[in-house]
Amino acid sequence: MSRGSVPSIGMVGVGNWGKNHLRNFASLTSCRLGGICDRDPAVLARVREEHPDVFVTDDFDALLARPDIDAMVIASSAVTHAPLGVQALESGRDVFLEKPMALSSKDGEAILRAAEKKDRIVMVGHLLLYHPAVEYLKSLVDEGELGDLHYIYSERVNLGAIRSDENAMWSFAPHDLSIVGLLFDEQPESVSARGGCYVQESIEDVVFLNVKYPSGRTAQIHVSWLDPHKIRKTTLVGSKKMAVFDDMEPAEKIRIYDKGVDTPQFVSYDQAPALRFGDIVIPQLKMKEPLRIECQHFVDCVRERKRPRTDGESGLTVVRILEAGQRSLERGGEPIRIG
């Protein structure tokens, strides 16, 4: 396709989460639906009813064979991301891959090689990096509003949805790892992880990760699908101020705390640092659906041939952390170097 023309999008996997991708891409005027693929007969029946003029199939090869499709959106199960992504790239299509982009760094690297060979775009669905609240956090960090960022911790827990093809870490932690990566803006050094398998054998329902960075900063992440609370919260602790992003809050998603420790020049051995308790600021954010922003960004990248904000390299970094975290789980929490 020529630069600036309207791309035709092929959709793969339009069930539980993919149906939201379908809704958004179908509503964008800057692209058109070229075809839809899913293996579930009930999903196909629904899609055929909702989009009677769009090609619908249960055969990925049939979708791939359509010459009018410029880009593929792959939101099927995680185990399919790498093989389907590589196939789509080798056929000359740009590709949007839901998170995680792959279940191993080897498969992630194969995706990037296929993209480089065909000069194609790879974008990874790290949704929260398109959230207005996370973008606001990034501006706070970049402008020095929080001072030196010391550490981040997050909690992403709920009762369900329980998966059988991946554990809670692979399912939930990509969100938090992508946020930490954006805010710390450095490559991680090592990770340790501990968890527990209670519902299914060898599939962790709860995981606690500790990611260390060369600067000395750390990120702690707690994920679970076996918890009485639904929590989606990230806390940033800086030398000047602290900030909390609570995605369960309908309006007041960010709170900035003017709290900290003022350390004076010590004049005597018993002089203690002074605690500071200031105001709490709740910024007014212009909220938009993050998924719609993300989908529009992919279309813009396809049309303008530009690098996505959540490109394949950033997606591979997250996979490498998860892969090291999995090894740490299997070794009882032993710290594992990343890369």
Domains in the chain: boundaries: 8-127+291-310, 129-287+321-337
- Residues 219 and 236: their CA atoms lie apart, in Å, by 9
pTM: 0.94
Q: Tokens representing 38? A: 């899913």
Q: Tokens representing 292? A: 């719609």
Higher-confidence position of 35 and 4: 35
Fold for 129-287+321-337, please state it. Dihydrodipicolinate Reductase; domain 2 (3.30.360)
pLDDT in tens, 64-109: 999 999 999 999 999 999 999 999 999 999 999 999 999 999 999 9
- Residues 11 and 2: their CA atoms lie apart, in Å, by 21
Q: In this predicted structure, what is the pLDDT of residue 265? A: 60
Can 8-127+291-310 and 129-287+321-337 be said to share one CATH topology? no
| Helix 18-27 / helix 290-304 crossing angle, nearest 10 deg | 60
pLDDT in tens, 284-324: 999 999 999 999 999 999 999 999 999 999 999 999 999 99
Asked whether 97 and 122 are in contact (CB, 8 A), the reply is yes
Which long-range contacts (C-beta less than 8 Å, at least 24 apart) are formed by 196-202? 197/167, 198/226, 199/162, 199/226, 200/162, 200/164
Q: Tokens representing 204? A: 């962790």
Order the strands of the 226-238 sheet from edge to edge: 274-281, 254-262, 242-246, 226-238, 149-159, 218-224, 206-212, 190-196, 336-337
Helix, strand, or coil here: 46? helix
> What is the rounded average pLDDT of the residues 160-189?
96
pLDDT in tens, 218-251: 999 999 999 999 999 999 999 999 999 999 999 9
- Residues 93 and 302: their CA atoms lie apart, in Å, by 10
pLDDT in tens, 6-47: 999 999 999 999 999 999 999 999 999 999 999 999 999 999
**42 to 10, 51, 86, 163, 300: CA distances (angstroms):** 19, 14, 27, 20, 32
Fold for 8-127+291-310, please state it. Rossmann fold (3.40.50)
First-residue to last-residue Cα distance in the chain: 36
- Residues 217 and 234: their CA atoms lie apart, in Å, by 15
Query: Considering the chain, what is the average pLDDT of its residues?
Result: 96
- Residues 122 and 75: their CA atoms lie apart, in Å, by 14
Compute φ and ψ for 24, nearest 5 degrees.
-75, -45
The total of other beta-carbon atoms located within 10 Å of residue 276's CB is: 12
Residue 267 has pLDDT above 60, yes or no: no
Residue 200 has pLDDT above 70, yes or no: yes
Residue matched to tokens 């932690």: 173
Helix, strand, or coil here: 335? coil
Q: In this predicted structure, what is the pLDDT of residue 3? A: 75
